[in-house]
Amino acid sequence: MSPMMNIAVRAARAAGRVTMRYFERLDAVNIQSKSRNDFVSDVDHAAEAAIIETLRDKYPDHAILAEESGSHAGNAGGDKMEWIIDPLDGTTNYLHGFPQWAISIGFRERGRMQLGVVYDPLHEELFTAERGAGAQLNERRIRVSQRRGIEGALIGTGIPFKDQSQLKVYLRMLEAVIEDTAGVRRPGSAALDFAYVAAGRLDGFWELGLSPWDFAAGALLVTEAGGMVTDLAGSERYFETLNLVAGGPKVQRAMLQRLRPFLGPDLPA
């Protein structure tokens, strides 16, 4: 691991200790509603604070974009170096004791992702990727699946649950994708969904209206594992459109063919 990756992993493990400590006594966790179906807890804030403290100790000039505390500007040009943090991806799962949640930390330089960590402390699975160095799970190389098409593929997704204005078009997309597949799964943590695509556990994944901290690390995991990540139009502008399609190359292209017809005024790329 590079020195920067070591720091990112240290930060992820610090947040993992926080989340695991609270997970054994969820009845004592203070929960607030940010918006409809969007919750935040003491755990999210404490885990995020642990990550930021670790990163700031080594990289005090770098900018930070964090889900709970927002943007932290960099100093002396450090705004071109940015950490993108989700301290607890899958908060709703976590608060219900559902074992599918993770910590996500990504780093980008001048708008280009360079490093990603997705850590599942409950199952002790650490997914890491550095640009040009491949992707790993617990220090073993991982690759996307080599499935040749969508037939028989296992696909992951996320159902629009915060803003349901796109629910009808999403359901039409689901109907188009699910045909011929082995099934579609909606576990509830986008960071882990991307990590599972990178590890070949899922053949593909798509979701609408994500936030950068949901996919910054995971998208790099997929591409470094030999996969493809685009928006619905097939471009790499997904940090702008926030709609993503990921998978092994052939599965990803097959998914795009089924999803593109739904693009329009009500559903931008």
What number of other Cβ atoms are within 10 A of residue 4's Cβ?
A: 16
Closest CA to 167 of 121, 227, 207: 207
Give the span between the Cα atoms of 130 and 182, in whole angstroms. Answer: 31
Question: Quick one: which H or E segment has residue 57?
Answer: helix 42-58
Q: What angle do CA 173, 176, 179 make, to 5 degrees?
A: 140
Q: What is the pLDDT along the chain (269 residues), one digit of tens a residue?
A: 899 999 999 999 999 999 998 888 877 777 666 555 455 678 888 999 999 999 999 999 999 999 888 888 877 555 689 999 999 999 999 999 999 999 999 999 999 999 999 999 999 999 999 999 999 999 999 999 999 999 999 999 999 877 778 889 999 999 999 999 999 999 999 999 999 999 999 999 999 999 999 999 999 999 999 999 999 999 999 999 999 999 999 999 999 999 999 987 667 66
Give the span between the Cα atoms of 191 and 170, in whole angstroms. Answer: 20
Give the span between the Cα atoms of 137 and 119, in whole angstroms. Answer: 10
**Tokens at 67, concatenated:** 């889900």
Sheet architecture: strand order including 102-109: 70-72, 63-66, 81-89, 102-109, 112-120, 125-130, 134-137, 140-142
- Domains by residue range for the chain, with CATH: 3-141 (3.30.540.10), 154-262 (3.40.190.80)
Distances (CA, A) of 144 to 173, 199, 255: 23, 6, 15
What number of other Cβ atoms are within 10 A of residue 1's Cβ?
A: 14
